[in-house]
Amino acid sequence: MQCRPITFNSSRTEMNIHIVNSCHIIDRKFQYGTNELIDRSDKQESLAEFFSAIYHEMKLDYPKFFKMDLLCKAGFLASEALTEKNFDKTTPKEDMGIILFNSVSSLDADEKYQQTIKGEECFPSPALFVYTLPNIITGELAIRNKIMGESMFYVLKSYDTDRMMQIITDTFNNTTLHSALCGWLDIAHEETNVHLFLVERSHQ
């Protein structure tokens, strides 16, 4: 599905917010930065295998990644791409937030968890259960990047650029956020529609 990209029109906002970096994950392609692309569209692999391949290609070292559900893995990988250069992951940042959106909530984790509780042999999986809320990803990103500002996850009816921009702008207008990870993360039935951005308040 082609989605209109999130942009910030300074004539519509009370302040200027600009995009520092972006990452898009669609059709087994992982695109970020000015021109970085990892294209695995020709591989016959599951979404989990695709994310593992991206993790290894980016030479990441974060074992917790392998315990995450697919929504968190997508957000984690995209955020690692956005914070690849000159980003301090050790200092707590009260002026940085996380504002995320999708239309399917934690559907993938929900369906997988449901498999563990149906039937006569019912063994609910705690490791799956903890991901049956979409906002868990905001916690994962906050822990990884020491992001201490406002964090939120909105489930919208559909991809709605105007609505997302309004919420992001309102959040910046009403808080002291200087920067944020924000964007859309839809993961369902082995498909991804992920557009994540690192945005900053522009200096006037």
Beta strand pairing call for 179-188 and 151-155: unpaired
Nearest distance from residue 117's CB to other proteins, in Å? 11
Q: How far is the CB of 123 from other proteins (least distance, A)?
A: 5
Helix locations, 146-203, DSSP H = 161-173
Rounded to whole angstroms, the Cα distance separating 153 from 183 reads 10
| Minimum gap (Å) between residue 130 Cβ and other proteins | 6
Residue 136 or 196 with smaller CB distance to other proteins: 136
Among 125, 166, 173, 176, binds other proteins (CB under 8 A): 125
Are 82 and 197 spatial neighbours (Cβ–Cβ below 8 Å)? yes
Candidates 99, 110, 112; CA nearest to 185 is 99
Does position 135 interact with other proteins (CB under 8 A)? The reply is no
The residue range among 3-11, 63-71, 97-105, 138-146 that interacts with other proteins, by the rule CB under 8 A, is: 63-71
Residues 33-52 that bind other proteins (CB under 8 A): 52
Residue 17 burial by Cβ neighbours in a 10 Å radius (0-12, 13-18, 19+): buried
List of residues contacting other proteins (CB under 8 A): 52, 63, 66-67, 121, 123-127, 130
